[in-house]
């Protein structure tokens, strides 16, 4: 038995650089938008977006992630989580341009899943994901060397969250692993453990330690002692050979900077503030938050739960604020009270890079025959990443 690891949510050196300034070759963040953007104060922005979209017709398909701003969601042909959106794009082969209003890893996944004739465009290249950036290809390759030297790599199956770069998905495909979403993480883990002899298997879970821990402990009945955290900033991940040998879940030290902000205090405080409230949180939240919540699930689960909730019920939601605000407005008319779990603002700052000026610029450029901010994954990486995605689609 290993010693229980402290729950590790300290920001890494990569967390939240200044956005949109200078360049950062190690990630997609901090990249200047090359375009001549319209001013945010331009009163014609809505009309310009509408006109450009109309001119493009069926040639363009606009995807809007749940966490996007309202002004952007207004132009989305479909809304959803990242995997659903990539699938929807693949199901629209007549759309030459896929404008992904989300973040970089989502656009990569769409490029991997769509045909070669479709071009995926991210309206602002600085729209990255701090969680995805917490696991680089070099760090993960080094981690695999550490596991190999410790004699545990052959017992380990990688399971990578959708919220990871194409490089990490390719690593997962190369080493016999699968991708998972927040809806199917338990099925992915059961599949991965089933790939090895009973009791011998381990999972390397990338890059969100919280989703990995919450799924293993809350959904599969493992103990916190079964989990260790691999810190890529420490030699050997900060783990001994014995800790690696004893662990069942090797959790990458990554987290979502939005969901990681909710605390046990947020839960206790909202229960006092709103008597009778149901606390419903995303599994990217810290373990103590998930343990104290009444319901836990993906964004799609959160929306469905609220749809099915009875009138008069009260809900505190622990996920991104743009989505929670939209849900609060949508369900107010049905007599359901929806509040944000925390008192402080909690937007995804990188997702919020995509605004109406960037969308107008991207759509008008496409309408003028210029493909801007194209996201293209190289064929070898795409093939390996697709292998890992196909294993997810085939999960029992
Ligand atoms: S909400 Fe978290 S995981 Fe999602 S894009 Fe933003 S930083 Fe990444």
Confidence tier at 15 by pLDDT (50, 70, 90)? very low
**Any idea where the domains of the chain sit in the sequence?**
45-128+350-378, 132-256, 259-340
- What is the architecture, at CATH level 2, of domain 45-128+350-378? 3-Layer(aba) Sandwich (3.40)
Which of 16, 64, 131, 286 for a ligand 1 pocket mutation test, highest count of atoms within 8 Å of Cβ? 131
Which two tokens mark 156? 């380990």
Residue 171 has pLDDT above 50, yes or no: yes
pLDDT at 87: 87
CA–centroid distance, residue 258 to ligand 1 (Å): 6
Residue 28 has pLDDT above 60, yes or no: no
- The distance from CA 370 to its chain's CA centroid, rounded to whole angstroms, is 29
Which of 9, 17, 67, 298 for a ligand 1 pocket mutation test, highest count of atoms within 8 Å of Cβ? 67
Within 13 A of 219's CA, how many CA atoms are on the CB side? 20
Q: How far apart are CA 303 and CA 307, in angstroms?
A: 6
pTM (whole model) above 0.85:
yes
DSSP state of 7: P
What's the chain's average pLDDT?
Answer: 90
Task: Determine if ligand 1 sits within 6 Å of the CB of residue 130.
Answer: yes
Q: Which of 163, 166, 168 minimizes the C-alpha distance to 144?
A: 168
Residue list, annotated binding site: 65, 82, 129, 161-163, 182, 256, 282-284, 299, 348
Question: What radius of gyration, in Å, describes the C-alpha atoms of the chain?
Answer: 21
pLDDT at 90: 87
pLDDT at 23: 46
pLDDT at 227: 97
Residue 77 has pLDDT above 80, yes or no: yes
Pick the range with the lowest mean pLDDT from 119-128, 228-237, 345-354, 369-378.
345-354
Confidence tier at 3 by pLDDT (50, 70, 90)? very low
Pick the range with the lowest mean pLDDT from 196-200, 234-238, 281-285, 307-311.
196-200
What is the arithmetic mean of pLDDT over 236-263?
Answer: 96
pLDDT digits (tens, 9 = 90+) for 136-160: 999 999 999 999 999 999 999 999 9
Residue 330 has pLDDT above 70, yes or no: yes
Which of 258, 262, 318 for a ligand 1 pocket mutation test, highest count of atoms within 8 Å of Cβ? 258
Residue 261 has pLDDT above 80, yes or no: yes
Which two tokens mark 140? 């993960």
CA–centroid distance, residue 177 to ligand 1 (Å): 23
pLDDT digits (tens, 9 = 90+) for 211-229: 999 999 999 999 999 999 9
pLDDT at 16: 36
Which two tokens mark 18? 């200044």
Confidence tier at 107 by pLDDT (50, 70, 90)? very high
Give the number of other CB atoms < 10 A from CB of residue 47. Answer: 11
Q: How far apart are CA 77 and CA 61, in angstroms?
A: 6
Task: Determine if ligand 1 sits within 6 Å of the CB of residue 143.
Answer: no
Ligand 1: which atom is nearest the Cα of residue 348? 6
Do residues 111 and 362 make contact, with C-beta atoms less than 8 angstroms apart? no
What is the arithmetic mean of pLDDT over 119-123?
Answer: 95
What is the arithmetic mean of pLDDT over 241-268?
Answer: 95
Q: How far apart are CA 138 and CA 229, in angstroms?
A: 18
Task: Determine if ligand 1 sits within 6 Å of the CB of residue 281.
Answer: no
What is the arithmetic mean of pLDDT over 100-111?
Answer: 94
Task: Determine if ligand 1 sits within 6 Å of the CB of residue 257.
Answer: yes
What is the arithmetic mean of pLDDT over 252-281?
Answer: 95
Q: Do domains 45-128+350-378 and 132-256 have the same CATH topology?
A: yes
| CA quadruple 281, 287, 291, 297: dihedral sign | positive
- CATH level 3 topology of 259-340: Rossmann fold (3.40.50)
Which of 168, 208, 257 for a ligand 1 pocket mutation test, highest count of atoms within 8 Å of Cβ? 257
Residue list, annotated binding site for [4Fe-4S] cluster: 129, 256, 348
Which two tokens mark 124? 């602002």
Task: Determine if ligand 1 sits within 6 Å of the CB of residue 351.
Answer: yes
Ligand 1: which atom is nearest the Cα of residue 349? 6
Task: Determine if ligand 1 sits within 6 Å of the CB of residue 182.
Answer: no
What is the arithmetic mean of pLDDT over 78-105?
Answer: 92
What is the arithmetic mean of pLDDT over 79-87?
Answer: 88
Ligand 1: which atom is nearest the Cα of residue 67? 1
For ligand 1, atom 2: residue with the closest CA: 256
Task: Determine if ligand 1 sits within 6 Å of the CB of residue 163.
Answer: yes
Ligand 1: which atom is nearest the Cα of residue 132? 8
CA–centroid distance, residue 370 to ligand 1 (Å): 29
Do residues 121 and 162 make contact, with C-beta atoms less than 8 angstroms apart? no
- CATH level 3 topology of 132-256: Rossmann fold (3.40.50)
């Amino acid at each position: 038995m290993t010693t229980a690891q402290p729950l590790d949510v300290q920001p890494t050196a990569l967390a939240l650089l200044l956005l949109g300034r200078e360049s950062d070759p190690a990630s997609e963040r901090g990249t200047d938008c090359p375009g001549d953007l319209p001013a945010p104060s331009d009163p014609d922005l809505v009309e310009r977006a509408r006109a450009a979209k109309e001119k493009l017709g069926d040639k363009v398909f606009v995807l809007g992630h749940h966490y996007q701003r309202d002004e952007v969601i207004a132009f989305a042909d479909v809304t959803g989580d990242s995997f659903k959106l990539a699938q929807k794009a693949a199901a629209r082969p007549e759309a030459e341009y896929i404008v992904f209003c989300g973040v970089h890893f989502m656009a990569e996944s769409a490029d991997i899943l769509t045909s070669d004739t479709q071009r995926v465009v991210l309206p602002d290249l600085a729209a990255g994901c701090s969680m995805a950036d917490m696991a680089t290809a070099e760090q993960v390759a080094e981690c695999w060397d550490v596991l190999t030297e410790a004699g545990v790599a052959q017992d380990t199956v990688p399971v990578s969250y959708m919220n990871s770069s194409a490089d990490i998905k390719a690593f997962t495909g190369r080493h016999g692993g699968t991708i998972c979403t927040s809806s199917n993480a338990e099925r992915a883990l059961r599949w991965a453990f089933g790939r090895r002899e009973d009791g011998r298997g381990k999972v390397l879970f990338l890059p969100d330690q919280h989703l990995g821990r919450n799924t293993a402990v809350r959904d599969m009945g493992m103990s916190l002692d079964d989990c260790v955290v691999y810190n890529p900033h420490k030699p050997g991940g900060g783990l001994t050979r014995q800790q690696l040998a004893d662990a069942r879940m090797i959790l990458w030290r990554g987290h979502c900077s939005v969901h990681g902000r909710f605390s046990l205090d947020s839960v206790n405080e909202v229960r006092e503030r709103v008597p009778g409230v149901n606390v419903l949180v995303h599994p990217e939240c810290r373990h103590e938050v998930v343990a104290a919540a009444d319901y836990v699930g993906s964004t799609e689960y959160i929306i469905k739960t609220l749809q099915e909730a009875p009138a008069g019920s009260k809900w505190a939601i622990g996920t991104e604020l743009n989505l929670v605000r939209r849900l609060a407005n949508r369900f107010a008319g049905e007599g359901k009270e929806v509040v944000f779990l925390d008192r402080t603002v909690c937007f995804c700052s990188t997702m919020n890079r995509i605004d109406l000026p960037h969308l107008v610029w991207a759509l008008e450029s496409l309408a003028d025959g210029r493909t801007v901010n194209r996201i293209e994954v190289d064929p070898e990486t795409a093939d390996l990443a697709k292998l890992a995605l196909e294993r997810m689609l085939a999960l029992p």
